[in-house]
Each structure stands twice: as structure tokens, then as C-alpha cells.
């Protein structure tokens, strides 16, 4: 059995970490988790293709999430007025739905990372790098 340092580097732990940080940014520690994700993404050139793909997807997904959840809601509140009941109908329904969809993307991305596969986030994701295993069969 080869020593662990002799095993080929798959990038699986880093891919899983990228997806976990994306989810943490949405669910537990917004902002802080994104900064850690950005830090990992900064050194992506050294990472194996699987990790690179997941880092690209999650950074792109997080940026879109920021825009969809923070900016769009701010615009809705500014346009609709803070005291308008319909503003809150739109804001809360939109936020809950949009946030849930982004979390489900992350859950699927995490499952893909754990299975050692690449996955492009629908609508929000970057194109996958060459040679990335996507598990299609």
C-alpha cells in the first residue's frame, strides 16, 4: 500500500471544502466564509482540476448569491418603501425562495464534490475546465 504522500492528489478535500464554505457563507457565517473561499481560490492554479472546478463554481455562485440576495432585496426595499406591506411580501418570499435554491445548488455541489465529480452550477456557474470528471454516464 503506497504511503499517503505517494497517492495521486485528486483535489477532493479542497473541492469539498469549497462547497462547504459556499454553504457556510449562505447559512452560518456570511462574509467570513466567503473571504476564506476567496483565499483558497486565489491559489487555485496549484490545485488539481477537480478542486479548481469547484472553487470556480462556488466563488461565482457566492458572488451571484450576494447580488441576488443583498443587492436585489435592497433595490426592492428602496423602490417599494420600507413601510409598504407589499414590499415585505415580495422581499421575504423572494429571499426565502432564492436563498433555498442557492442552498440546494450547494447541497448538490457538495454531493458531487464528495463523489469526486465536477458540476456546473445552473445559470450561475463558470464553464468547467478540460478533463473534469462530471460523472455523466
Q: Binding residues for other proteins, per CB under 8 A?
A: 12, 85-86, 88-89, 92-93, 96-97, 99-100, 103-104, 107-108, 110-112, 114-117, 133, 135, 137
**Least Cβ distance, residue 70 to other proteins (angstroms):** 18
DSSP letter assigned to residue 7: S
Please state the length of the chain. Answer: 137
Residues 34 and 40: their CA atoms lie apart, in Å, by 10
> Closest distance between other proteins and the C-beta of residue 81, in Å?
13
Contact assessment for residue 119 and residue 127, using Cβ atoms and an 8 Å cutoff: no
CB of 100 to other proteins, least distance (A): 5
Nearer to other proteins by Cβ, of 67 and 100: the residue is: 100
Cβ closest to other proteins, residue 70 vs residue 111? 111
CB-nearer residue toward other proteins: 38 or 101: 101
Q: Which is nearer to other proteins, 2 or 85 (CB)?
A: 85
What residues contact 109, with CB distance under 8 A and at least 6 apart?
19, 22, 54, 57, 58, 61, 119, 121
Residues 133, 112, 122, 21: what is their CA dihedral angle, to the nearest 10 degrees? -120
Minimum CB–partner distance for residue 93 and other proteins (Å): 5
Amino acid at each position: 500500500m503506497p504511503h499517503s504522500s505517494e497517492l495521486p492528489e485528486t483535489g477532493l478535500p479542497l473541492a469539498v471544502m469549497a462547497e462547504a464554505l459556499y454553504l457556510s457563507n449562505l447559512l452560518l457565517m456570511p462574509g467570513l466564509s466567503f473571504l476564506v473561499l476567496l483565499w483558497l481560490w486565489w491559489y487555485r492554479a496549484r490545485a488539481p482540476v477537480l478542486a479548481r472546478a469547484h472553487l470556480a463554481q462556488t466563488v461565482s455562485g457566492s458572488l451571484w448569491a450576494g447580488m441576488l440576495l443583498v443587492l436585489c432585496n435592497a433595490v426592492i426595499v428602496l423602490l417599494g418603501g420600507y413601510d409598504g406591506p407589499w414590499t415585505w411580501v415580495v422581499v421575504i418570499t423572494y429571499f426565502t425562495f432564492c436563498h433555498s435554491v442557492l442552498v440546494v445548488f450547494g447541497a448538490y455541489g457538495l454531493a458531487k464534490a464528495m463523489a469526486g465529480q465536477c458540476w456546473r452550477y445552473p445559470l450561475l456557474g463558470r464553464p468547467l475546465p478540460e478533463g473534469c470528471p462530471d460523472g455523466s454516464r
